[in-house]
């Protein structure tokens, strides 16, 4: 389902894309409880894009985002779901590079 979204294969670009995808969910009509999880994930993802973070801290932030996304309930919005799926793929790209 992430076909229409570009998921970078380079970890640093994937972190930026992760934040972008989660920011895009903020404009979608998702239930308030789900929106809280997504909002927290977005904040952590934006923090992960900071240039002054070392790789280990950036990866820790991405792991936090992945955990938050796993905790989020259904969105009932197809566009938000595609952004979340792309965000999860971005997390996988970052976390696959050990």
Residues 85-94: tens digit of each pLDDT? 999 999 999 9
Q: In this prediction, what percent of the chain has a pLDDT beyond 70?
A: 96
- In this prediction, residue 78 carries a pLDDT of 95
pLDDT score at 98: 58
Output the pLDDT for position 45: 97
Band (69; pLDDT cuts 50, 70, 90): very high
Q: Is the pLDDT of residue 79 over 90?
A: yes
Report the sign of the C-alpha dihedral through residues 74, 90, 93, 66, in that order. Answer: negative
The full 3-state SS of 47-97, as one line of letters, equals HHCCCCCCHHHHHHHHHHHHHHHHHCCCCCCHHHHHHHHHHHHHHHHHHCC
Residue 3 has pLDDT above 70, yes or no: no
End-to-end CA distance of the chain: 26
For the segment 42-68, what is each residue's pLDDT rounded down to a tens digit?
A: 999 999 999 999 999 999 999 999 999
The answer to whether 24 and 78 are in contact (CB under 8 A) is: no
CA dist 53 and 9 (Å) reads 20
């Amino acid at each position: 389902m992430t076909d229409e979204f570009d998921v970078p294969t380079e970890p640093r670009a994937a972190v930026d894309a992760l934040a972008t995808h989660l920011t895009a969910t903020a404009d979608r009509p998702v239930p308030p409880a789900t929106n809280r999880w997504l909002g927290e994930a977005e904040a952590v993802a934006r923090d992960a894009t900071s240039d002054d973070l070392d790789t280990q801290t950036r990866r820790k932030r991405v792991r936090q985002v992945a955990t938050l996304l796993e905790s989020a309930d259904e969105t009932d919005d197809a566009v938000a779901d595609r952004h979340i799926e792309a965000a999860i793929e971005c997390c996988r790209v970052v976390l696959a590079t050990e």
